[in-house]
Amino acid sequence: MSDAPTDLIDEAPMPILSGRRILVIIGALMLGMFLAALDQTIVATALPTIVRRLAWRSHLAWIVVSVHLAATVSTPIWGNSVNITAEVFLPSGIVIFLAGSS
């Protein structure tokens, strides 16, 4: 048997975040989650009116599934984009949502 070291990975110490920085991070996460929940609430509330006006009652289930499927598919894409460049994508996503909601 060889004399291999027991710890193969050199672990760098984690940087310590200040209390203010942690609150900013949690606040940004909560704002993003709030906007996502608000978006789903708006779609769920407006959908029956949209379907009634377009006379698509027989397709209501497909519309609901497609809206939720699009949100589910886009969430990991936006999440990965935010991990790469959070300073650009998160504020731009919030601005696009607010512009689309007005």
Reduced to 3 DSSP states, what percent helix, strand and coil does the chain have, rounded to the nearest 5? 80, 0, 20
Total-model pTM: 0.51
Question: Quick check: is 65 in a domain?
Answer: yes
Residue 45 in domain:
no
Q: What are phi and psi of 79, to 5 degrees?
A: -65, -45
Residue 2: the pLDDT is: 56
- With respect to residue 21, please indicate whether it lies within any of the assigned structural domains: no
Domain extent at residue 69: 57-102
Q: Are the C-beta atoms of residues 63 and 47 closer than 8 Å to each other? A: yes
3-state SS class at 10: coil
Mean predicted lDDT score pLDDT of the chain = 79
Looking at the structure of the chain, the number of domains it has is: 1
Q: Is residue 99 part of a domain?
A: yes
75 in a structural domain = yes
The per-residue pLDDT for 40 is 80
CA dist., res. 60 & res. 48, Å (int): 8
* Percent above pLDDT 90 for the chain: 3
CA distance 12 to 33: 31
Reported as a single tens digit per residue, the pLDDT across 27-54 is 988 988 898 888 888 888 888 888 888 8
Does the pLDDT of residue 1 top 70, yes or no?
Answer: no
Q: Is residue 8 over pLDDT 70?
A: no
pLDDT tens digits, 58-81: 888 888 788 888 888 888 887 777
